[in-house]
Amino acid sequence: MATTELYREFHRPGFHFTPAQGWMNDPNGLVFYQGQYHLFFQHNPFGTSWGNMTWGHAVSEDLVRWRQIDNAICPDELGHIFSGSAVIDWRDSAGFGGGRETMVAFYTSAGSMVSPPRPFTQSLAWSSDRGRTWTKYPGNPIVPEFRGGNRDPKVIWHEAAGRWLMALYLDANDYLLLSSSDLKHWAKLCEVTVSGASECPDIFELPVLEGEESGSMGEMPVPLQEKRWVFWGASGLYLLGDLTADGFVPRGAAQKSELGSTGYAAQTFSDIPASDGRRIQISWMAGTKFPRMPFNGQMSFPVELTLRRFSDGVFLCRTPVREIERLYGRCVEVIETDLTAGGQFVPETRHDLLDVSMDIEAPASAAVVVLVYGNALHLTPDQGKFNFLGRDVPLTPPHDGRVTLRLLIDRTSVEIFDASGRLSAGFAMLPEAGDIPLVLQAHVKHVHLHRLTVHELRTIW
């Protein structure tokens, strides 16, 4: 019988954040302050279905082990509390801290959820005690309705311009960029269209690195002498461009970053120290299933974002943060092994939480199948793709027929990356066959496993 002890439930993910109880969707207000990462999230404290939108709150010292604390921001007469962001107002530009910094959160007041109904507007709240208690600004809303349903304010400090910027979703594929000097009064800069995207914008700058077409996991790319701004939409589509005095100017068409079936509403952390220098992102893994569980909703494992130049252009790449190594337990490694045609290779592990890296060489037209708890991942390198749970995902072109993949396997999900991070795809799943977490199958001869590394992971709970 499955256990009902909190955080020990049968379908509780072992190393992805989930709420103790209730519904969860979009990550909100990701911010670092005084040694803690803050993860706010869309939360229904009263049930496992969407509703009663409140900002839940969890904190972590290492991006891996999370501790849920009291809910942060609750519905009021302006509406339910929809998605948004948070920053540290180091200069006290809003005047909330009496000369000291405060944590300031920006959220959508979803007016249609209250009676009498109101427009969707943008509001703020601030905290002077590391996010434990919050004061809503008496002048809310700070941004009026521009179009019905406009929402999801993402606020950043633009150092070069010496001002705050807010990216806001309008409707269809359209977003708005606004500016402010005090976080309370906002002026329109420009509209931005991200074809195919909607909701939950993000905007940030990254240096361009020299990409790797292939190679080992963890190889460091070479910095180039250029930077680009990234304008991100909820479905993993993004634009590269420049940020001028008049707003965001795109360079080229929208590109797809999250290639799986689950990644949605991703957001990056604000105020990570310059000494760290990483741009870290978390997504909601939409569609993950949790039968008969007291919670509903799972976040992705945090990833580091980089921009890398490949032979066919500059692309946003996503790789799991290095802190995952803190969960490493037993390691199983296999090198230079041929897979038997029609047979199967089963690594010596029955652990249910795994970080798997594999380097496979197969001849043209060969098909390799990786079974993840009975769910078949079909690799067809000559067709430049793999298929998992009915979805085709493009592979980065292999060198010499070699494909390098990394799989983060949890109880209800798998996240798949290539060596560079250009391939990044998350999937929701449930076990389909027995308790064997990983099986490799070759359908033809001459499939060679150069290296397979399986790290068993400790649970974060």
* Active site amino acids: 26
Dump the DSSP string for 87-156. EEETT-TTS-STTS-EEEEEEEEEGGGSSS---EEEEEEEESSTTSS-EE-TT--SB--SSTT-EEEEEE
Tokens 């360079």 belong to which residue? 251
Cα 291 to chain centroid, rounded: 23
Burial class (CB in 10 A: 0-12, 13-18, 19+), 110: buried
Tokens 């027929």 belong to which residue? 401
Six-digit token string for 288: 């993950």
Alpha-carbon torsion (218, 221, 223, 229), positive or negative: negative
- Neighbouring-strand partners of residue 378: 369, 387
Q: What are phi and psi of 326, to 5 degrees?
A: -70, -15
Distance CA 103, CA 101 (A): 7
Pairing of strands 202-210, 303-310: parallel
Q: Which residues of 61-82 are buried (b: 16+ CB within 10 A; e: fewer)?
A: eebbbbebeebbbebeebbbbb
